[in-house]
Amino acid sequence: MKFGIVVAEDIPKARDLAKKVKKYLETRGHEVLDTNLTRSDLVVTLGGDGILLHAACEHVELNVPFVGINAGTLGFLTAAEGSEWQGAIEKLIDGKYFISERMTLEAGISKNFHLRGVRALRYNSGQAHLEGGNFRALNEVVVKGMYRVVDLEITVNGQKFLEIVGDGVIVSTQTGSTAYSLSAGGPIVEPEVDCFLITPINAVGLSIPSVALSPNDVVEIKVRKGDDVSLIVDGQEHTKISQSPADAKVFDLLESERPLSAMSSRPNGRSRRPEAQTRRALAGRQSVKVERGRYRVKFGYFDKQHFLKALNAKFGLSGRVFR
pLDDT tens digits, residue range 114-126?
333 222 223 334 4
pLDDT band of residue 147 (cuts 50, 70, 90) is: confident
The reported pLDDT for the residue numbered 274 is 36
Query: Tens digit of pLDDT for each residue in 284-293?
Result: 457 899 999 9
What is the per-residue pLDDT for 170? Answer: 98
On the question of pLDDT at 54 being above 60, the answer is yes
* Residue 309 predicted with pLDDT over 60: yes
CATH number assigned to the domain with residue range 2-102+296-319, chosen from the 4 options 3.40.50.10330, 2.130.10.10, 3.40.190.10, 3.30.420.40: 3.40.50.10330
Residue 220 contacts residue 154 (beta carbons within 8 Å) = yes
Going by their DSSP bridges, the two strands 42-47 and 66-70 should be labelled as parallel
190-68-64-135 Cα dihedral, nearest 10 degrees: 70
CA 151 to chain centroid = 25
Q: Hey, is 14 helix, strand or coil? A: helix
- CA dist., res. 167 & res. 182, Å (int): 16
- What residues are labeled active site? 49
In the chain, where are the structural domains located? 2-102+296-319, 104-294
Q: Is 75 helix (H, G, I), strand (E, B) or coil?
A: coil
- What superfamily would CATH give domain 104-294? Probable inorganic polyphosphate/atp-NAD kinase; domain 2 (2.60.200.30)
Per-residue confidence at 151, pLDDT binned at 50, 70, 90? very high
Mean pLDDT of the chain: 82
Q: How far is CA 207 from CA 41, 214, 241, 258, in A?
A: 47, 21, 28, 42
The Cα 88–Cα 72 span in angstroms is: 17
